[in-house]
Amino acid sequence: MDILVPILIPIAVVVVLPCVIVWIVFKTQTNRDNKNAEIVIKAIENNQVTGTDKIIEAIAKNKKSPVEVLQSRLLRACIFTFIGVSSLLLSIIFNYRNILSEQDLVTGFAILGAMTLPIGLAYMVVYFATRKSVMKRNEE
């Protein structure tokens, strides 16, 4: 049994956990779509044609506007970049000053920074690449 634990935990984290997350997200979206369809069907059954149009518009308005999406990308870019830079700086300072006795923690900070900094930079690239087109579309 002791031999299986080091094998089962990575398999659970790498394989099972992402599959469960995708399944939960898919089921949530499917459930939301089914509920919206039920509302529209009941409105049609009650011969409320004008009410049905308003319901469909209200359901469709749950989406974010392009400007809100752009702002959320910039926010994520700032958050991920800040976490990445600060983690890398902490790992460099801790390693140079020998503040932490455990090298694993220094390595953990370095890995965290190496993972989050490129994500933040990718969000920044997407933000700057789509900013002009979104602003043009918003002005029209």
CA–CA dist 39, 56 (Å, integer): 9
Q: Per the structure block, which two tokens stand in for 20? A: 């469960």
Model confidence pLDDT, tens digit, residues 66-108: 888 899 999 999 999 999 999 999 988 888 877 766 777 888 8
Q: Are 58 and 35 in contact (CB under 8 A)?
A: no
What confidence category does residue 53 fall into, taking pLDDT thresholds of 50, 70 and 90? Answer: low
Specify burial of residue 35 (Cβ count, 10 A radius: 0-12, 13-18, 19+). Answer: exposed
Asked whether the whole model's pTM tops 0.75, one would answer no
Specify burial of residue 85 (Cβ count, 10 A radius: 0-12, 13-18, 19+). Answer: middle
Q: Are 93 and 105 in contact (CB under 8 A)?
A: no
